[in-house]
Chain A
Amino acid sequence: MHNNKCLKENPNPNPNQPLLAYHFIQALTRINLTAHTTTSTKQRSHIIKHAAYVSMAFAAGNKRTWTHAVLLHNRFPLKTRFHRLSGSRRSFIMSLSRNKKTHRHAHLLRSLVPGGHAMEFSSLLMETANYIQYLTAQVRLMQCIVEKFDMHV
């Protein structure tokens, strides 16, 4: 659908706020149009949450591992893709995080960032930074929308 627009290279690392808004509002409009009276609030909430992550990934562009993970999960929600690092690489990476505490936290971080298990430690950090930027932008966007709705209801 919007593939032509989204898969263009996004050289700017900072979140493109209008693009984020565009994708998310399109999704919301679509949800509103296709919503049946039988859809419960809880169900719609899940759909909206899902749309938030997908539109976030679309806006972030194709260059990031976490966007791939989000969009893949979107297409095949039942399959969990688990990429295992090869043995020698893994031992090298484990030696980087020498501190046991660090390693534990890194493992936790991998489970939080989509696609985190398939990355090297240094790329995990970069992906996390990018992911956090987009997450905060998305949260701000949703807060604005909720405020605007609140005013007019």
Chain B
Amino acid sequence: MSSRRSRITEEEINELISKLHSLLPESRRRSGASRASAAKLLKETCSYIKSLHREVDDLSDRLSGLMATLDTNSAQAEIIRELLRS
């Protein structure tokens, strides 16, 4: 039981480290104990996700405003062009 627990704890630690990598815009490489920075990492993750949600909200607002001002035909043509480009 205890060995299984320690194995999961190691996996956790690796997950935390890889998470730190994917949070690249915010993270500074911490050489300290990963457990000490675990709470910090979770906190940073939470605030990062919240800021991403806010950005999605903001971009949706802007998109909505822009779509309102566009003519139907030109908007469709633009979107189709985007699709072909990507």
Binding site for B on A (CB under 8 A): 17-18, 21-22, 25, 28-29, 31-33, 35, 41-42, 44-46, 48-49, 52-53, 95-96, 99, 101-102, 105-106, 108-109, 112-113, 121-122, 125-126, 128-129, 131-133, 135-136, 138-139, 142-143, 145-146, 148-150, 152-153
- Name 21 A/B residue pairs within 8 A (Cβ), A-sorted: A18-B86, A22-B83, A25-B82, A28-B79, A29-B80, A31-B67, A42-B64, A44-B64, A48-B60, A105-B42, A106-B42, A112-B46, A122-B8, A122-B15, A128-B45, A131-B49, A132-B22, A132-B49, A142-B56, A149-B67, A152-B74
Which residues of A lie under 8 Å from residue B23 when comparing CB positions? 132
Judged by a CB distance under 8 angstroms, whether B69 is at the interface is yes
Size category of the binding interface on chain B:
35 or more
Are A105's CB and B52's CB within 8 A? no
Are B86's CB and A21's CB within 8 A? yes
Beyond A22-B83, A32-B79, A49-B56, is A44–B68 a contact (Cβ under 8 Å)?
yes
